[in-house]
Amino acid sequence: LFSAVEMAPRDPILGLNEQFAADTRPNKVNLGVGVYYDDNGKLPLLQCVQAAEQRLMEKPAPRGYLPIDGIAAYDNAVKALVFGADSDVVRSGRVATVQALGGTGGLKIGADFLKKLTPGAKVLISDPSWENHRALFANAGFAVDTYTYYDAAKRGVNVDGMLASLRAADAGTIVVLHACCHNPTGYDLTPEQWDAVVAVVRERSLVPFLDMAYQGFGHGIAEDGAAVGKFVAAGLDVFVSTSFSKSFSLYGERVGALSVVCASKDEADRVLSQLKIVVRTNYSNPPTHGAAVVAMVLNTPELRALWEQELGDMRTRIKAMRQRLVDGLAAAGVRQDMSFITQQIGMFSYSGLTKDQMVRLRTEFGVYGTDTGRMCVAALNSRNIDYVCQSIAAVL
Ligand code: LMR
């Protein structure tokens, strides 16, 4: 049965973790995967999470099956966070939300639902995009193409090119957009540019699918969520996948959601019933712990305030590391202007290094980033920054 099975290539991001784990060099640095580490190089367990876990443990709950769409208090907290508790869409019951296995799970539920709903639609992802977007939508059965996004020469977004790609798309095309902290480039649209994108999406009757994996890592929770509000305000049907992996440092708990904004409560009820079928036929129902923690934090004012503070601290530290990277590269002898690193936003820097340079960084120096030149600046700290700067300077 398996004699003809080919060895699949390593995952371009998570595969690096495997290589990194096998690397015995003591000074190795993992800038591959999008994970935030604190200044001691440790994965944080947030205080708000610990406090919520303590409260949950005070009244330990049995672990029965959750409803197919997850914990109601969690789904409601997601709606409030993403769309605003008092927003018209939430109050009128026009949002269908299901708890999902991380942001990837939210994307997958949405992709499977859309494949049943509009089997002939094409999917457009940004050029470049998170490595898994293409694979995920292709595996759901879609033809996946790209829309123009990154302008390497200008180091920013080619907005005119993006709008032209969207204008050329067939009605019904599903457009996967990064709601904030674009992965991998770190370049986001301005509010005015978002307005222009929303207008084209509406004119061309495209289907917006917003991936929101880094809310709070750009400018702030509300600021990073603003693009979603623009699509909703335009009266569009919109898909939003949410991840709490990074913002709660709960990577392994797989806490995420899919929300679908519909035209009426009746539509949302019917959409929810279909999303539940997708969930039931994939993994039946979601796990309890991570979502219980996130719901407790988001629904408890003092824990919510603590979370916002801790998330703000992570954001601030990443920004400081960007500046130290720019300064450190100059000190290490890099002549070219690297100040673009401080203009990028979120966890990543699209460094402009070539694949060969990234491979050299990995093999000669034990500094791991993706072949595309993406580096996770959220994994830099005061101990590894000098070594990383010297290593980059050497390959440049
Ligand atoms: C990343 O882009 O590194 C993260 O989103 C983690 C992942 O699953 O790829």
Domains of the chain: 14-45+304-395 (3.90.1150.10), 53-300 (3.40.640.10)
Q: How far is the CA of 189 from the centre of ligand 1 (A)?
A: 21
Q: How far is the CA of 267 from the centre of ligand 1 (A)?
A: 33
Q: How far is the CA of 17 from the centre of ligand 1 (A)?
A: 11
Does residue 146 contact residue 124 with C-beta atoms inside 8 Å? yes
Position 272 scores a pLDDT of 98
Give the active site residue among 188, 246, 276, 307. Answer: 246
Position 298 scores a pLDDT of 98
Catalytic annotation on 211?
Answer: yes
Indicate yes or no: pTM above 0.95.
yes
Ligand 1 touching residue 107 (CB < 6 A): no
Position 142 scores a pLDDT of 98
Q: pLDDT for 63-107, tens place per residue?
A: 999 999 999 999 999 999 999 999 999 999 999 999 999 999 999
Position 339 scores a pLDDT of 96
Alpha-carbon distance 239 to 110, whole Å? 7
Taking the CA of residue 11 as reference, the ligand 1 atom at the shortest distance is 9
Ligand 1 touching residue 340 (CB < 6 A): no
Q: Whose Cα sits closest to atom 2 in ligand 1? A: 34
Ligand 1 touching residue 13 (CB < 6 A): yes
Position 200 scores a pLDDT of 98
Q: Whose Cα sits closest to atom 6 in ligand 1? A: 34
Give the active site residue among 69, 75, 211, 224. Answer: 211
Q: pLDDT for 129-170, tens place per residue?
A: 999 999 999 999 999 999 999 999 999 999 999 999 999 999
Angle at 108 between CA 103 and CA 111, to 5 degrees: 125
Strand 238-243 vs strand 255-261: parallel, antiparallel, or unpaired? antiparallel
Does residue 98 contact residue 70 with C-beta atoms inside 8 Å? yes
Alpha-carbon distance 207 to 117, whole Å? 12
What is each CA distance from 324 to 314, 380, 386, in whole angstroms?
15, 9, 9
Q: Which residues of the chain have pLDDT under 50?
A: none
Of 232, 294, 267, nearest in space to 70 by CA: 294
Q: How far is the CA of 376 from the centre of ligand 1 (A)?
A: 10
Position 277 scores a pLDDT of 98
Amino acid letter for position 45: L
DSSP string, 7-28: PPPPPTTHHHHHHHHH---TT-
Position 123 scores a pLDDT of 98
Helix, coil or strand: residue 331: helix
Q: How far is the CA of 206 from the centre of ligand 1 (A)?
A: 26
Helix, coil or strand: residue 256: strand
Ligand 1 touching residue 373 (CB < 6 A): no
Taking the CA of residue 243 as reference, the ligand 1 atom at the shortest distance is 5
Angle at 256 between CA 171 and CA 124, to 5 degrees: 25
| Alpha helices (H) in 140-215, listed in sequence order | 159-167, 191-203
Catalytic annotation on 130?
Answer: yes
Helix, coil or strand: residue 287: coil
**Residue 97 β-bridge partners:** 259
What is each CA distance from 62 to 294, 296, 375, in whole angstroms?
18, 17, 42
Angle at 68 between CA 253 and CA 65, to 5 degrees: 70
Does residue 16 contact residue 30 with C-beta atoms inside 8 Å? yes
Give the active site residue among 79, 108, 130, 230. Answer: 130
